[in-house]
Structure 1
Amino acid sequence: MQHLEEQIAHLTRTVEDLNTIVTRQQDEIDNLTRRVEVLMRREGERAQEGSGGIILGDERPPHY
């Protein structure tokens, strides 16, 4: 009986540890998702403004 109680305690601890890890990973995924959305929005705005940064033919780069 004691062996089973030890196993349950160990499994409970493992589940708690895994829950902490999964929660932390989900927070990081949410943060990264927000960052990607901001970057995609910025890039969309840049593309609409026509300043996509692509130099065609003999155009001079903006720093000239």
Structure 2
Amino acid sequence: MESRITELEIKISYTEDLVEELNRTVFRQQQQIDLLATELRNLRDQMHNAQPLEGRSLRDEIPPHY
């Protein structure tokens, strides 16, 4: 009986370590997601603030090799 309890304690210890590592991983991933969302928001703002190309046509632009 005591060996079963010891075995269960060992399994619980490994499980606690695994859960803690998974928590750290999820936390780091959430930080990365937050950073990427901020960068995406900044890029969208830059696109909206850029000068519109409505009056221009691609045919009016000269390719760089000419």
Confirm or deny a common fold (TM above 0.5): yes
The answer for unaligned runs of 5 or more in structure 2 is: none
Tell me the CA shift for residue 51 of structure 1: 4.9
Tell me the CA shift for residue 58 of structure 1: 2.7
Larger Rg: 2
Aligned length: 58
CA distance in 2, matches of 1:20, 1:55: 51
Partner of 1:28 in structure 2?
32
Tell me the TM-score normalised to structure 1 length: 0.78
CA distance in 1, matches of 2:9, 2:59: 75
Q: Which has the higher contact order (CA 8 A, sep 6+)?
A: 1
CA distance in 2, matches of 1:38, 1:51: 20
Question: Structure 1 segments of 4 or more deviating over 2 A?
Answer: 58-61
CA distance in 2, matches of 1:59, 1:39: 25
Q: Kindly provide the amino acid, as one letter, of the partner of residue 41 in structure 1.
A: D
Over the matched positions of the two proteins, sequence identity in percent amounts to 33
